[in-house]
Structure formats: C-alpha cells, structure tokens
Amino acid sequence: MTTDSVPDRKKAAFWADAVSRALVPVAVTPRDGTTFTGTITTDRLGFLRICRVQAGAQRVSRTPALIGPSPEDLVAVVLQTAGAAVFVQGGRRTEAGEGSLVCYDTTRPFTFVHPERFTAHVFQLPRHVLGVADDDLRQVTGTAIGTGHGFGSVLLPFLTTLAASAPTCPPAVGHRLAGHVVDLFATLIAERAQPAAARGDAGPEHLVRSVRVHIDRNLGDPSLSPESVARAHRISVRYLHRLFEGEGVTVSRLIQRRRLEECGRELARRGRVTPTVSSVAQRLGFVSPAHFSRAFRAAYGVSPREWRDRRASRGTGADDADPAGTPAP
C-alpha cells in the first residue's frame, strides 16, 4: 500500500487506514507541513506478520478506544533500519536509533513519534504463542534494545534477512521460521526481564543446569512436565526443547529417567520396614503403579518388586544402591 497515486488532500487519511489494516488500529498524524508520503508492504510467515514501513515524519498513537475493538492480542518487535523514533508505553519513554529494536504490546496504549523520514520492519505475532509471563513482557516493552552486543546482536542479522526473504518463502518453510522467531523473542524477553546483575548467567548452559536442578527438586510432583518446567523458567516450551537438543535426552525422558533412578535407590534402601512399590512410585510422582512397573521393567529388565527383593537379599545399603545402568533416554 502506497500513497503515491493518492491525491494530496487524501494522503493522510489513506495512510492512517493503511497502517491500521496492516498492523493494528491506530491514529496517525503527519508531523510536518510537506506533502506526506508512505509505503507499507506486508508479508506472512505462518502466524508471523512482517511489515516494512517507509514514511515521512509522523505520530502514531494507539489509544484505549482503539484497543477495545481489536480482534487479537499481539506482541511486536520493531527494527529501526533508518531514521529515528521516540516510543512511549507503560510509563517508559525511549529513543530508538538506526539498528535498535523496540518491543511493544498491542493490548496497552502506546505512541511512536518519528521526527523525520524513517524505515522500519515490524514483526507481529500472537501474544499466546510466546509463553512468557505478563510481568516479564511489561518489563521489556517501552525500552530500546541495542544490537551492538548481547542477544540483540544475534537478532539483528536474523530479522534483517527474514524480512528480505519473506516474500519468496514457501509456506512450509515460513511456518518453521515463525517458530524460530517465537523462540528468539521469548529468549529476548526472558533475558531482558532479569535483573542486570543476573543477565551474565542467562546463557543456554545456565538454563540447562537450572532445568536439571528444578527437575530433581520436583520429582515428587505428578504435574512435573515440559510445560511446568518452561513456566517455572519463563521460557516457551519450544525453546526448552531447543535447549535440550544437544543433551541426548528430551525433557520428558529426563523426568522419567530421574524418577526411575530415585525409585531404584528407594527400593534398595535397607531399613526396618521394607518400602512398598506403590508407596515409592507415588512419592516420586508416578500416578499409576502399573505404568511405573512397565517403565521400570523396560529400563532395568526386572520388575520393581524383583529389584527390591534382590537388593534386600544382597544386603545393599542406601549409599551404593544405584540402579545397574542408566534408563534408556
């Protein structure tokens, strides 16, 4: 959509309608007395919408009255490729120069002021696919994210290339790329939402260690799952699975493996009272005794009862009661 063939007296109204249709309903006011011009191009990669905006100086506002009728809740990241912008949301005011990223939430009022001609790429996706806490998102919106270092330096070339290649992407590839964008945006929000002193430990290795510790501490919780682990770490389930791609085990398998290992130790523990199979299974998060027995036999080649009785007959102590081998991943 472009103002090129629109009469001068209608350009401002045409442009306001074009931006509202391509992005979300907003009010647009040109900032100077010259004839306003603007072009906006829209592409889709699955659920991800990418808009390239090139226009003159303007003020763009999303008011509470414009938010109500909107059909969906979106989160957007703006990559400023030329010119500058002043952005306000949630009581924060930030200036974004060329190469900066700005994140905003369409469910809350915001204002963009472009004091000069500018070019920007806008990436919009549904709020619900991110899987991040509302508080974390609020900490990130209204701030400019530099791309000279840190995670912003990873996002800049990726988003630039993505915007350029979007028009020629096959649909199947587009859906996969949209999933990658979700991972990157969720990671960006998680990184920026942490206290500054903690951001140095926000890398993938730290997260993997943290996930493993969390799993070990919560083995007895029957609801322990990839979804609950992701929520506890304020990341998406998709990104959690990505973290464990190089670990040789999925998160679901890791939970089951650690439960089986701890059950093996408990069943082999000597004491005045021999623990029952069902009590051990329940204490370590197995809801179904039958499922526990099948999983244990598949991992160790014997039933839980046989395992307990063999260890008891050998007089094995708790300290050396590790299962013979590790369950299959």
The predicted pLDDT at position 196 comes to 41
Based on the fold, state whether residues 165 and 281 are members of the same structural domain: no
| Residue where one domain finishes, among candidates 175, 196, 217 | 196
The predicted pLDDT at position 143 comes to 81
Residue 130, domain extent: 8-196
User: Is residue 73, in this structure, part of any structural domain at all?
Assistant: yes
Express each pLDDT in 81-121 by its tens digit. 999 999 999 888 888 888 888 999 999 999 999 999 999 99
Q: What CATH number has the domain bearing residue 22?
A: 2.60.120.10
The predicted pLDDT at position 149 comes to 64
The predicted pLDDT at position 238 comes to 82
The predicted pLDDT at position 314 comes to 62
Residues ≥6 apart with Cβ < 8 Å to 177: 45, 46, 48, 162, 169
Based on the fold, state whether residues 192 and 266 are members of the same structural domain: no
Q: Which residues of the chain are modeled with pLDDT < 70?
A: 33-34, 148-150, 194-203, 270-274, 311-329
Number of domains in the chain: 2
Residue matched to tokens 């309608």: 17
Based on the fold, state whether residues 276 and 191 are members of the same structural domain: no
Report the DSSP pairing between strands 58-62 and 27-30.
antiparallel
Based on the fold, state whether residues 148 and 15 are members of the same structural domain: yes
The predicted pLDDT at position 117 comes to 92
| Residue where one domain finishes, among candidates 196, 219, 247 | 196
